[in-house]
Amino acid sequence: MIVDRRIGLFILMRESLLTLTLLGAWDVFVVVMFQVFHQDWMEQPTLPVSLLGSAVALFLGVRNNAAYGRWWEARTLWGAITNNCRSFGRQAGSLLGGRPDLACAMAAYPYALRAALGRLDGSADVSRLLPPEMQGAIAGWNNQPNAILYQIGLAVNEEVARQGIDGAVHGQIDRILSDLANAQGGLERIRNTPLAIQFSLIPRLVANIFCVILPLSMVQTLGWITPLGSSLVGLLFVALDKIGSDLQDPFDNSPHAMPMRTMARTIEIDLLQPVDIPVGGPLAPVRGVQS
Amino acid sequence: MIVDRRIGLFILMRESLLTLTLLGAWDVFVVVMFQVFHQDWMEQPTLPVSLLGSAVALFLGVRNNAAYGRWWEARTLWGAITNNCRSFGRQAGSLLGGRPDLACAMAAYPYALRAALGRLDGSADVSRLLPPEMQGAIAGWNNQPNAILYQIGLAVNEEVARQGIDGAVHGQIDRILSDLANAQGGLERIRNTPLAIQFSLIPRLVANIFCVILPLSMVQTLGWITPLGSSLVGLLFVALDKIGSDLQDPFDNSPHAMPMRTMARTIEIDLLQPVDIPVGGPLAPVRGVQS
Amino acid sequence: MIVDRRIGLFILMRESLLTLTLLGAWDVFVVVMFQVFHQDWMEQPTLPVSLLGSAVALFLGVRNNAAYGRWWEARTLWGAITNNCRSFGRQAGSLLGGRPDLACAMAAYPYALRAALGRLDGSADVSRLLPPEMQGAIAGWNNQPNAILYQIGLAVNEEVARQGIDGAVHGQIDRILSDLANAQGGLERIRNTPLAIQFSLIPRLVANIFCVILPLSMVQTLGWITPLGSSLVGLLFVALDKIGSDLQDPFDNSPHAMPMRTMARTIEIDLLQPVDIPVGGPLAPVRGVQS
Amino acid sequence: MIVDRRIGLFILMRESLLTLTLLGAWDVFVVVMFQVFHQDWMEQPTLPVSLLGSAVALFLGVRNNAAYGRWWEARTLWGAITNNCRSFGRQAGSLLGGRPDLACAMAAYPYALRAALGRLDGSADVSRLLPPEMQGAIAGWNNQPNAILYQIGLAVNEEVARQGIDGAVHGQIDRILSDLANAQGGLERIRNTPLAIQFSLIPRLVANIFCVILPLSMVQTLGWITPLGSSLVGLLFVALDKIGSDLQDPFDNSPHAMPMRTMARTIEIDLLQPVDIPVGGPLAPVRGVQS
Amino acid sequence: MIVDRRIGLFILMRESLLTLTLLGAWDVFVVVMFQVFHQDWMEQPTLPVSLLGSAVALFLGVRNNAAYGRWWEARTLWGAITNNCRSFGRQAGSLLGGRPDLACAMAAYPYALRAALGRLDGSADVSRLLPPEMQGAIAGWNNQPNAILYQIGLAVNEEVARQGIDGAVHGQIDRILSDLANAQGGLERIRNTPLAIQFSLIPRLVANIFCVILPLSMVQTLGWITPLGSSLVGLLFVALDKIGSDLQDPFDNSPHAMPMRTMARTIEIDLLQPVDIPVGGPLAPVRGVQS
């Protein structure tokens, strides 16, 4: 996630450079053809640009709302991971009477989840935090974060039996684990269900066609300054499409992705400080991007 | 659900071929009639195409939002099925002290649900996973997935009585079963309540009428290239209608339906791995489509 | 609710016939006046039809979103009734150890609720299912469905005391009753709070005025085919208004209302089959309409 | 809340009369100036009315969605008050074994809440229903409805201790009180946080400016019938602004406010009938308005 | 938050003064250049202003909806803080049998939260309310409000053990603490995740470019009154952008921020009045702004 506005503007410009160049080149080509070589077939007074424009706007509007909705839902679900990890930490301290190993195991959970969502290797962080016996127990499972929750559930169960803790209190801890499972499932749902292909492919196609037609419809009235007008409008539509495609996959390895690593680190700090395990500071953004 | 972008583009094109052909043929017919045979009655300078276009856009906007909302709600509810099945697996392992047969029964549940929602035969998967005595008990019930939940509830009850498990813990397990019933009811609601007929019929009708009128209003100014402009705009509106109708029935037997079989398989894996029952890998997409 | 597309199209046409006739008659009148009698005062070249059109579209957009939202919320709340009735059935069978009379009492609840929401007489179904002593206890109460929930709550209480069931389990059953009360309250809220009068009256008025002005602004350019263009556009706006007004009152006695009777029947089946009380099949749609 | 459509139309007209008169007078003034005195400076062929119109529409669209969202959220929260008061009544009857005084105290709660939200005096209803000892205990508190909930919580606590009721059952009752506190907090949030001043002031200003400019841009083409076209369009935009401002403050003392008094009465009936305390009928609307 | 409409209008004007001046100066420059010096290159009859305008509107529409959604979600989450603090107060009084020190500790919580969210120093209020031993325990923690919740959880745990309170009742109190942790996490999520840079940077850029182009496209037809038309339209688009940027960061130190200090004070009053600790009145707005 980009957190520095200047660098963000720079990144956006770098990403748009190719499109801008192509667009500008085509616009210049059209205007030269028309003004210098007088290609009459280009003289299309009223190509239905405005109808096309409103259809494109309709497509992009629906898509961008959906993409933003996905991104914000993903962020909200990570928020739920944060909250419930913290609540588990409080419960481990108060209801279970302190169990630093369980706080550590829970601190490993967001790292494992981040690795699974981003299809990365997270074993370094997980093996740093997860108690060794749990590491053995979850080896070979398909769904590593779910396996960690399962093992924590077993450990809580044993602790409850050992201390003779009341069932209602046990139920309250189990509810937090279920809430974590719900949030994790929601994140997996967003990763496994890409935005319907109609929404991700067609808007891009249509916006590009629109950009090709645009200068043809303007060249007669605007003449030599066509590229200015046409590129500006075209760039806007391309930018609208780009916003949608940047946001629609929040776990991708891009500067626009959710800062899962930073958030996992925050959870680790919130879990380990109360049980007096030394832990470093939060992650700083690298070149304006929080990863 | 289409997961491969190239194949997706191909599928979309194949599905749109007929419409494109008809549209193109009509456009060519209009332009030939006008340019060659000089049919003056076609000269309708200002047929109210833009007013019509905005009414169509209004219809399609509302419909597509509703259709996407239905699709995403269905997906979210299947996500809740996944999450709660997993949580039940964790509870069976920790709170009930391991009951592999209940994990198996729960693994049969999403297959039965998928069969009921898609009006398919799911007996092979169900009879593979469901314990035999439960299979006998649910025979003849109208609502098979609900029957499985009912039987699991009875079995949990017996286990709780046998082990003398605390009521609050029992309540926590029962809550998961209620949450599953809620998610199942939501999915049935979406299947049994098609999008109001006004939203599914009228937009298609209107988009088609719009496509018929479109070339008439363009032929005077665009001349021989009318089919290009008209087909492009028409295709966009037809595509907008198609997106809505693809998404509005998420359980249909189409490449755009939710991948219920794949998701049931994922649940099976997540439930059976912890209790050490051998289970194969997840389902791979077939020709770019996850079923 | 209309479930058959053909019959649905027929119903929609029948309902729109009068509007279509009036609209067409006015359009023909205008064109005849203008073309035959040359009424010059009709020549209003640029009546601000497009500004008016966008204001109307704004009104109808907001209203139809609100109306659809009401309809879908009502349907979702009925879904919650279904789910919680089922969960109560499971709890009566498992947690309370089977109480067929309570399952029957709960099966009477949706019939009473449907009667209260639709302002119908539902005593036949209620007296068929509700145990006689409860029928006596609820006589004279204003809110019959709430009274049934109250009596079920008392009966559960007695059963819990008799069997010495754990309080947490009791709490879990009570939660289902509270959830039913919440869903019922939501349905009553929608029935008792019609869509704000500004949203239900003004759009209709405005759409009608728009239809009256429409042919005046077209007759100069379109001439004899004015009625075609004008009626088409007018019909679309009237149809948009009609969709909203069909959906905004989901409990009315109309073919567009929610199929509350069918849903009550489904709940009855799901509740009585597990306790082996013979029960018929689900209700079939009558002439394409599920009531 | 207006419940009678005819009277509603009359109220809306009465409220719009002044605006309509001013608008019409200005329109007539413009047309007379232009047609009779030939003021040339008024001849502004293409004042950017359509650009202005779409900016106004954008403002009003966002505002009206927000205002309707506030209104409906407020209504939903009152619904939650209703539901939870009813559930508390059922719990007082079943779980606590009947406590008519607590049902009465809870019946006083919505009256106190309505008084606090509407900044009215509700002491008559509260002192009629609230047990005298509670009246003494809450005197002098800033937040009267919260004080009533607090006292009910204390009374429930004593009753639980006296009867030795299970903690889980107690927890279930406490949950209802927390849910009431949540709904109350939500209502206070809506009252204390007026719609951001940018949304409530600017749309009105802009709609008014728009109405002033409108006839200037039409008078050339429409001539003497300018006031008709201009007033119609202007009235629509003013009406759109008015809808938003009617809905944005749902607790104001206006015919468009939520019928809090009627709803408090309904709750009273639902709470007192089960404990056999005589209670009158629901409130009838007064001149088409439910207060 | 601005609560006085007059002062609000004044603040909005003051904030817009610079923009208005720059905009007006540019408009005047354009018109003078065109009318006096007859710069022909300015004569751009049909710069694609309407296409540009609709792209800008699309951008601003999506952004402002997102910004308003963030603001209202933040406000709703603070409402949840309020509600759960109150519920904790009721529970401390009833379930825990009165613990004024815990009510005080909870009253310190919103002050600490406000300080953390607004990156302010809140130690004065926190040290005034938080019991000294807790102040020692939380020193050095990164997340101060979370630390307070943790300490309250420990204190509740001890009290429960001392009085032998039922586990289910304990669970109910712990649920309130978890709900507080959820609301706090939500607020931190909004603060830590600024609106995606594409939504906050591009709309401003585009709106500004639009304002620069606007007079060029109007000067031919409007002549000397161009600045009036152009500034009005430009100001509207700039105002739309400003609304979004005012709302998108609800914890900033600006007159448009959420009144966190006032709300913390309200919570303090609601918590301390029941335990008879003297407390002052609510905070009054300062010059029309509630801070």
Q: Which of C61, C222, C233 sits opposite B52 (nearest CB)?
A: C233
Give per-residue pLDDT as tens, B172-181. 898 899 999 9
Q: What is the mean pLDDT of residues E140-149?
A: 90
- Our CA-based measurement puts residue D260 at a distance from the nearest CA of chain A, in whole angstroms, of 34
Nearest residue on chain D to B167, alpha-carbon basis: D168
Give per-residue pLDDT as tens, C85-133. 999 998 888 888 888 899 999 999 999 999 999 888 888 899 999 999 9
Write down the pLDDT at residue E40: 64
Q: Which of E59, E167, E198 sits opposite A12 (nearest CB)?
A: E198
What count of other Cβ atoms lies within 10 Å of the Cβ of residue C22? 14
- Our CA-based measurement puts residue C186 at a distance from the nearest CA of chain B, in whole angstroms, of 16
ipTM of the complex, rounded to two decimals: 0.86
Higher pLDDT, E178 or E231: E178
Asked if the Cβ–Cβ distance from A222 to E55 is below 8 Å, we say no
Distance in angstroms (rounded) separating the CA atoms of residues D109 and D115:
10
Q: Which of A2, A75, A90 sits opposite E149 (nearest CB)?
A: A90
Q: Would C109 be classed as within a structural domain?
A: yes
Q: What is the mean pLDDT of residues A78-99?
A: 90
Asked if the Cβ–Cβ distance from C166 to D171 is below 8 Å, we say no
Q: C197: which chain D residues are within 8 Å (Cβ-Cβ)?
A: 2, 5, 8-9, 12
The DSSP annotation for B5-66 comes to HHHHHHHHHHHHHHHHHHHHHHHHHHHHHHHTS--GGG--TT-SHHHHHHHHHHHHHHHHHH
Q: What is the mean pLDDT of chain E?
A: 86
Q: Would D281 be classed as within a structural domain?
A: no
Q: B5: which chain A residues are within 8 Å (Cβ-Cβ)?
A: 197, 200-201
Q: What is the mean pLDDT of residues C237-264?
A: 86
Q: Determine which of E169, E197, E209 to mutate to test the interface with A (most A C-beta atoms within 10 Å).
A: E197
Give the percent of chain E with pLDDT over 90.
30
Q: E50: which chain A residues are within 8 Å (Cβ-Cβ)?
A: 50
Beta carbons within 8 Å of C115's beta carbon, 6+ residues apart: C121, C122, C123, C126, C144
Asked if the Cβ–Cβ distance from D197 to E9 is below 8 Å, we say yes
Write down the pLDDT at residue E42: 57
- Our CA-based measurement puts residue A43 at a distance from the nearest CA of chain B, in whole angstroms, of 10
Q: What is the 3-state secondary structure (H, E, C) of chain A?
A: CECCHHHHHHHHHHHHHHHHHHHHHHHHHHHHHHHCCCCHHHCCCCCCHHHHHHHHHHHHHHHHHHHHHHHHHHHHHHHHHHHHHHHHHHHHHHCCCCCHHHHHHHHHHHHHHHHHHHCCCCHHHHHHHCCHHHHHHHCCCCCHHHHHHHHHHHHHHHHHHHHCCCHHHHHHHHHHHHHHHHHHHHHHHHHHCCCCHHHHHHHHHHHHHHHHHHHHHHHHHHHHHHHHHHHHHHHHHHHHHHHHHHHHCCCCCCCCCCCHHHHHHHHHHHHHCCCCCCCCCCCCCECCECC
Q: Would B161 be classed as within a structural domain?
A: yes
Nearest residue on chain B to D171, alpha-carbon basis: B168
Write down the pLDDT at residue E39: 67
Give per-residue pLDDT as tens, E162-198. 998 888 888 889 889 999 999 999 999 999 888 877 7
Q: D168: which chain E residues are within 8 Å (Cβ-Cβ)?
A: 166, 168
| Per-residue pLDDT at B186 exceeds 90 | yes
Give per-residue pLDDT as tens, D105-115. 999 999 999 99
| Per-residue pLDDT at B42 exceeds 60 | no
Q: Shortest CA distance to D97 belongs to which of E168, C157, C149?
A: C157
| Per-residue pLDDT at A78 exceeds 80 | yes
Q: Shortest CA distance to C212 belongs to which of C37, C19, C16?
A: C19
Number of domains in chain E: 1
For the record, the structure tokens of C67 come out as 């109306």
- Our CA-based measurement puts residue E50 at a distance from the nearest CA of chain D, in whole angstroms, of 7
Chains A, B: CB contacts within 8 A come to: 155
Q: E166: which chain D residues are within 8 Å (Cβ-Cβ)?
A: 166-168, 170
Give per-residue pLDDT as tens, E90-130. 988 888 888 889 999 999 999 999 999 988 888 889 999 99
The DSSP annotation for E151-189 comes to HHHHHHHHHHHHHT--HHHHHHHHHHHHHHHHHHHHHHH
Residue D190 — pLDDT band, cuts 50, 70, 90? Answer: very high
Q: Determine which of C68, C165, C174 to mutate to test the interface with D (most D C-beta atoms within 10 Å).
A: C174
The DSSP annotation for C82-94 comes to HHHHHHHHHHHHH
Give the percent of chain A with pLDDT over 70.
97
- Our CA-based measurement puts residue D175 at a distance from the nearest CA of chain C, in whole angstroms, of 10
What count of other Cβ atoms lies within 10 Å of the Cβ of residue B14? 10
Write down the pLDDT at residue D104: 93
Instruction: Out of A109-118, C214-223, E172-181, pick the least confident.
Output: C214-223
Give per-residue pLDDT as tens, C133-147. 999 998 888 899 999
- Our CA-based measurement puts residue E168 at a distance from the nearest CA of chain C, in whole angstroms, of 8
Residue E44 — pLDDT band, cuts 50, 70, 90? Answer: low
Write down the pLDDT at residue B279: 85
Chains C, D: CB contacts within 8 A come to: 152
Higher pLDDT, B202 or C192: C192
Q: Would C283 be classed as within a structural domain?
A: no
Asked if the Cβ–Cβ distance from B239 to A196 is below 8 Å, we say no
Chains C, E: CB contacts within 8 A come to: 3
> pTM of the predicted model, to two decimals?
0.88
Q: Determine which of C41, C44, C51 to mutate to test the interface with D (most D C-beta atoms within 10 Å).
A: C51
Give per-residue pLDDT as tens, B103-146. 999 999 999 999 999 888 888 899 999 999 999 998 888 899 99
Q: Would A291 be classed as within a structural domain?
A: no
Enclosing domain of residue D191: 5-275
Q: What is the mean pLDDT of residues D30-52?
A: 70
Chain A residues interacting with chain C (CB cutoff of 8 angstroms): 167-168, 171
Q: E169: which chain B residues are within 8 Å (Cβ-Cβ)?
A: none
Write down the pLDDT at residue E145: 93
Instruction: Out of B241-245, B254-258, D224-228, E283-287, pick the least confident.
Output: D224-228
Interface partners of E (3+ CB pairs, < 8 Å)? A, B, C, D
Q: Would B89 be classed as within a structural domain?
A: yes
Nearest residue on chain C to A169, alpha-carbon basis: C168
Asked if the Cβ–Cβ distance from D185 to E89 is below 8 Å, we say no
Residue C84 — pLDDT band, cuts 50, 70, 90? Answer: very high
Write down the pLDDT at residue A167: 83
| Per-residue pLDDT at D273 exceeds 60 | yes
| Per-residue pLDDT at E55 exceeds 70 | yes
Give per-residue pLDDT as tens, E63-85. 888 888 899 999 999 999 999 99
CB A178 within 8 A of CB B87: yes
Q: What is the mean pLDDT of residues A169-173?
A: 87
| Per-residue pLDDT at C47 exceeds 60 | no
Report the C-alpha dihedral over residues C117, C118, C123, C126, rounded to 10 degrees.
-50
- Our CA-based measurement puts residue A64 at a distance from the nearest CA of chain E, in whole angstroms, of 8
Write down the pLDDT at residue C135: 92
The winner for highest mean pLDDT among A14-23, A155-164, B237-246 is: A155-164
| Per-residue pLDDT at E226 exceeds 80 | no
Q: What is the mean pLDDT of chain C?
A: 85
Write down the pLDDT at residue C225: 76
Write down the pLDDT at residue D210: 84
Asked if the Cβ–Cβ distance from A171 to B168 is below 8 Å, we say yes
Residue C66 — pLDDT band, cuts 50, 70, 90? Answer: confident
- Our CA-based measurement puts residue B40 at a distance from the nearest CA of chain E, in whole angstroms, of 31
CB E267 within 8 A of CB E107: yes
Max CA pair span of chain B: 92
| Per-residue pLDDT at A77 exceeds 60 | yes
Q: B171: which chain D residues are within 8 Å (Cβ-Cβ)?
A: 168
